[in-house]
Amino acid sequence: IGNDDATLITLAKLADGRPVNNAASTDGADADGFVKLGQVVAGYTSVAGTDGAIADSDYTSTAATAPISILSKKKGIHAAAIVGRSNAAIRGAIVTAAASTSQRVWFMCDNDETIAQATAITTRAAINSQRISFWFNHVYLTDPITLEEIVEEPFVAPMSIISQTDPDIHVADFDNTVYTQWARRVYNELDKTDRGALDTGGVSFMWQDEDASGNLAILPGNGLTCSFTSNDRQLDARYMKDFILDAIARAMLGSMFKGNTPAARAERAGAVTAFLSDLARSQRYVQTDEQGVPQFKYVNDGSVNVPQDQQAGTQQELAIIQLIPKNLKILLNAVIGTDATVTEQ
């Protein structure tokens, strides 16, 4: 359509079926069988369109075909976001969706890169959910086609990291810089005070630093959920819990609608115990004590069940598992100088 290769035309198909065939030099068509956009011909009218806009309701609708509804119910999705729009209406719909979701975390941020740090902290303060992660400090990258610098939401990088690493890998691990080499800069340079305020406020953020070799690195500076509860605050811990719970749930699923006998319960408990012990031996997910003993408990016997409930078809299982914590701070106490005295400890 048209004769200017530099002008892109967008056509929207509004009805089923395909356009009517046109014969050359017939019903207003030219010698090649084409008609001009907006030209009235004998058989039909081609109406010139207008630029449209996607409404917030196209995202926030509770209809089954709406984006947030689809992402909330689709199995196998562990990180979800609405990219390109993160205003109050979108965030509100995500908060509602997150309240009834499991096995996934929703990512969000303020609507554009110019939002002040204090505003981001205030916005985050109104959200309380371990199924939401709120991010600050937009990232710039180079468009591979136009070679122009463009900006994108700060949660895109951590979501990319999560999609390429195991659940117990913290998004801020410096090893993850291999996944953020596309990033060119961040909108705000954050000093120690800025980073401390954001972390205290429960806001996850992108920042610019140098790696161990002195190379420029852009990566997450932390990774938090929107919960201030210590056991639910770290994003990697949320994913570690989901990984373990999902594995145990799959073991339980194989026992559904089968006989609830002591032997069957012992077999299931043995399988779960072996799984958790293997994780502990590999120093992944499950913590051990100084002697190497895995720190977990899993029982499904009479100590956690009532016979009447079991007869009615309800079986209780109890899992208490200590996760491996990450180093969130490493404090170095140093005395360095020509008059420093070294004593034997």
Task: Please tell me the distance from the alpha carbon of residue 75 to that of residue 72, in angstroms, as a whole number.
Answer: 8
pLDDT above 70 covers a percentage of the chain that reads: 86
Strands 216-220 and 204-210: antiparallel
Residue 207, pLDDT > 70, answer: yes
Angle between helices 117-125 and 192-200 (to 10 degrees): 10
Q: Which of 11-15, 40-44, 219-223, 294-298 has the lowest mean pLDDT?
A: 40-44
State the pLDDT confidence band at 102, using cuts at 50, 70 and 90: confident
* pTM, to two decimals: 0.82
What are the structure tokens assigned to 314, written together?
């309800």
Residue 130, pLDDT > 80, answer: yes
User: According to the model, what pLDDT value does residue 15 have?
Assistant: 67
Spell out a b/e string for 326-341, using b for 16 or more CB atoms within 10 Å of the CB, else e.
eeeeeeeeeeeeeeee
Residue 343, pLDDT > 70, answer: yes
Side chain identity at 339, as an amino acid letter? Answer: D
Phi-psi domain of 237 (left: phi exceeds 0; alpha: psi -120 through 50; beta: other): alpha
Q: Which of 17-21, 111-115, 147-151, 276-280 has the lowest mean pLDDT?
A: 17-21
Residue 18, pLDDT > 60, answer: no
Residue 47, pLDDT > 60, answer: no
Largest Cα–Cα separation, the chain: 101
User: According to the model, what pLDDT value does residue 37 have?
Assistant: 63
- Kindly state the DSSP code that residue 288 receives in the 8-state scheme: B
Residue 95, pLDDT > 70, answer: yes
Q: Which segments of 211-333 are extended strands (E)?
A: 216-220, 296-299, 318-321
pLDDT above 90 covers a percentage of the chain that reads: 69
**Residue 207 β-bridge partners:** 219
Q: At 81, is the secondary structure helix, strand, or coil?
A: strand
Residue 44, pLDDT > 60, answer: no
What are the structure tokens assigned to 99, written together?
């309240």
